[in-house]
Amino acid sequence: MNIQRYQELISAELDVFANSLPKSPDNLYEPIRYTLTLGGKRMRPLLTVMGAGLFTDEPGPSLPAAIGIELFHNFTLLHDDIMDNAPLRRGKATVFAKWNSNIAILSGDALYTEAFRQVAKSPAAVLPQVLDIFTQTALEVCEGQQMDMDFESRSDVSIAEYIRMIELKTAVLLAGAMEIGALCGGADRAEAHKLYEFGRRVGIAFQLQDDILDVYGDPDKFGKQVGGDIVSNKKTYLLLTALSRANGYHKENLLNWLQSDVNDAEAKVNAVKEIYDAFEVRKAAEAEMHNQFSLGIQALESIKADPSKIAMIKSVAESLMVRQH
Amino acid sequence: MNIQRYQELISAELDVFANSLPKSPDNLYEPIRYTLTLGGKRMRPLLTVMGAGLFTDEPGPSLPAAIGIELFHNFTLLHDDIMDNAPLRRGKATVFAKWNSNIAILSGDALYTEAFRQVAKSPAAVLPQVLDIFTQTALEVCEGQQMDMDFESRSDVSIAEYIRMIELKTAVLLAGAMEIGALCGGADRAEAHKLYEFGRRVGIAFQLQDDILDVYGDPDKFGKQVGGDIVSNKKTYLLLTALSRANGYHKENLLNWLQSDVNDAEAKVNAVKEIYDAFEVRKAAEAEMHNQFSLGIQALESIKADPSKIAMIKSVAESLMVRQH
């Protein structure tokens, strides 16, 4: 089965889900329907059915978990937007902004419940393992979000802590999506766990890529303002590397840009980029990204399954790695 | 096994859970530990193990679900306190007040995840049914909370809608707790469902009792300020009955008290109580409460199980019905 067919299946299942939601109370379910219309690449459910597809030609048993994981991801965005006070997501008003904080909290809780309900429809034979991975992953995503919030007010974040944070906040869900798919597809635990490792490593690589693109990406293709992370002092891999490498005048200069109120955002972005260049920060981030990605591909290629299916997953991962250059 | 032994088991399991929580991130897990120290009667997990106890002498298999349901209940309180802007719960600072809204949202999400994880440890043979009841119940609790918030700004709430709201917000969780316990204890679905009906009916009765006690309870025993619902214009069974029965001068008088800013809370409570008395509102609420309670006991007594165990559950329910008079 090819990727387009998988994507059609997922899209159809998400429509079935959205259409089956109750009408009332409107303030509980309308924000959920709205959230699902905001779109997204539906990458996580694709990973789940592709993970299953490595071990079976019948993606059906992995579909509820795939939908559940996509719903969970949307739930995390819904609550994150409250915590970040974010007015927009994908160019449209967030639930928090369109309704209010209370409605965003409660409809998020309901969406999380629906996510769990879908995952619970996984095949009975693997249900306990699937739930174990799902709940562990969900908890780690919460831990990653908390670490991210804690980092905002800390000045001593290490690069290792940063990698751990993006692993928890972003990568483990890609990893869990694949491992759960594999188990639903009949994989044994050892093979399924190799897919987890693949998802975890490429997930870290994707986030490092996002950090790099925020500074060095083509704004037309990237769709965001270049240097947004620099403007907001976000502690990315790049900034933490610069802070660890810079010294003397450069360090003082960098700290000055971080600590002072800046009116001229472009000047700040350019100045910080100059410091990044001076300490070859981009090269360090790219090296770490490629290293993580290679370790992921290595895990993928060690799986005992049809080589053409492994190649398909590898090509999807590779296409995501260069998607915004 | 007697009730005290059940309570000790639950208390010990909750301690095990709290002690097994990770230490870090502190801002994620400390609010959960704190929430669990706030106490509570632990009524829901007791219902779960008593439900199991009707069908088995071995409460072990129902304990994870019992703990999960108690964690879920605590999660709903944690998020409700944000939505209600509540500074205190059981005389202590809420998580929302002690930390902040973001930490309360996220630690609530983590606590909900832990609740799922516990429920997911239920016996594999009944796991799909248990999860089905748990997620359906959780969704209904969200619906009830949304209805309750919607009611605040509505002036046309019917008594039937109110009963439905308290059923969803409060009663279905007692019902689900018992049904899940029964299934974990080996009950067939029909018998388990009778326990659901028992829990649902007595849950509605308990909430009606709370409405009545808020106005007519002994403040020393009740532990809350008498008339709090009247002061805050809460649309309780009593107020909705008074609004439906009063007319002419009395109706106008009642609406005046509801619509005007009142400085003298005691005067308002006394005036509204007089209207309640004039229309025998307390009698109506007590009749509805006794009716619901009797229907619940009827469902309980129709269960095919050891009569002495049924009598034990009945006596627990009865003791809760008069606990604050």
Chain A interface with B: residues with Cβ < 8 Å:
22, 25, 27-28, 79, 82-83, 101-103, 105-106, 109-110, 112-114, 116-117, 120, 124, 127-128, 131-132, 135-136, 138-139, 142-143, 145-147, 149-150
How far, CA to CA in Å, does B240 sit from each of A20, A87, A273, B48, B235? 33, 38, 65, 33, 6
Q: How confident is the model at residue B223 (pLDDT cuts 50, 70, 90)?
A: low
Could A105 and B82 be called an inter-chain contact, meaning their C-beta atoms sit closer than 8 Å? yes
* A·B CB contacts under 8 A: 109
Q: Collect all residues of chain B within an 8 Å Cβ-Cβ radius of residue A146.
A: 25, 27-28, 106
All domains of chain A, ordered by start, with CATH? 1-186 (1.10.600.10), 188-325 (1.10.600.10)
In chain B, the DSSP E strands lie at 88-89, 92-93
What's the pLDDT at B262?
79
What distance in Å separates the CA atoms of residue B46 and residue B320, rounded to the nearest whole number?
A: 13
Q: Which two tokens stand for residue A106?
A: 């409660």
Q: Does the pLDDT at position A323 exceed 60?
A: no
**What is chain B's length?**
325
Q: Collect all residues of chain B within an 8 Å Cβ-Cβ radius of residue A112.
A: 109, 112
What distance in Å separates the CA atoms of residue B307 and residue A32, rounded to the nearest whole number?
A: 46
Could A102 and B143 be called an inter-chain contact, meaning their C-beta atoms sit closer than 8 Å? no
**What are the start-end ranges of the H helices in chain A?**
3-20, 26-37, 43-53, 63-83, 95-98, 101-119, 127-152, 159-166, 172-184, 189-216, 219-222, 228-231, 237-245, 248-259, 265-278, 281-301, 307-321
Contact B181, B66 (CB under 8 A): yes
As for the ipTM of the complex, it is: 0.95
What's the pLDDT at A317?
95
The predicted-structure confidence for A250-261, as pLDDT tens digits, reads as follows 999 999 999 888
Q: How confident is the model at residue B322 (pLDDT cuts 50, 70, 90)?
A: confident
Q: Collect all residues of chain B within an 8 Å Cβ-Cβ radius of residue A28.
A: 142-143, 146
What's the pLDDT at A298?
98
Mean pLDDT of A60-84: 97
Nearest residue, CB atoms, A112 vs list B22, B112, B143 = B112
Could A113 and B139 be called an inter-chain contact, meaning their C-beta atoms sit closer than 8 Å? yes
Which of B76, B109, B131 has the highest number of chain A CBs within 10 A, making it the mutation to test binding with A?
A: B109
Mean pLDDT of A186-213: 97
Q: Does the pLDDT at position A322 exceed 70?
A: yes
What distance in Å separates the CA atoms of residue A48 and residue B312, rounded to the nearest whole number?
A: 48
Alpha-carbon Rg for chain B, nearest whole angstrom, is 20
The predicted-structure confidence for A272-317, as pLDDT tens digits, reads as follows 999 999 999 999 999 999 999 999 999 999 999 999 999 999 999 9
Chain B interface with A: residues with Cβ < 8 Å:
22, 25, 27-28, 79, 82-83, 101-102, 105-106, 109-110, 112-114, 116-117, 120, 124, 127-128, 131-132, 135-136, 138-139, 142-143, 145-147, 149-150
What's the pLDDT at B226?
77
Q: How confident is the model at residue A223 (pLDDT cuts 50, 70, 90)?
A: low
- Coil, helix or strand at residue B133: helix
Nearest residue, CB atoms, A146 vs list B27, B112, B113 = B27
The predicted-structure confidence for B76-107, as pLDDT tens digits, reads as follows 999 999 999 999 999 999 999 999 999 999 99
Return mean pLDDT, chain A.
95
Instruction: Please give, rounded to a whole number of angstroms, the shortest distance from the CA of A49 to a CA of chain B.
Output: 21
Residue keyed to tokens 């005007």 = B260
Return mean pLDDT, chain B.
95
Residue B248 is inside which H or E element, if any?
Answer: helix B248-259
The predicted-structure confidence for B229-261, as pLDDT tens digits, reads as follows 999 999 999 999 999 999 999 999 999 999 888
Nearest residue, CB atoms, A25 vs list B113, B117, B143 = B143
Nearest residue, CB atoms, A139 vs list B113, B136, B139 = B113
Instruction: Please give, rounded to a whole number of angstroms, the shortest distance from the CA of B173 to a CA of chain A.
Output: 14
Instruction: Please give, rounded to a whole number of angstroms, the shortest distance from the CA of A21 to a CA of chain B.
Output: 11
Q: Does the pLDDT at position A46 exceed 50?
A: yes
**What's the distance, CA A78 to chain centroid?**
14
- Report DSSP letters for B2-58, one per residue: -HHHHHHHHHHHHHHHHHHS-S-SHHHHHHHHHHHHT----HHHHHHHHHHHTT-S-
Instruction: Judge if pTM exceeds 0.80.
Output: yes
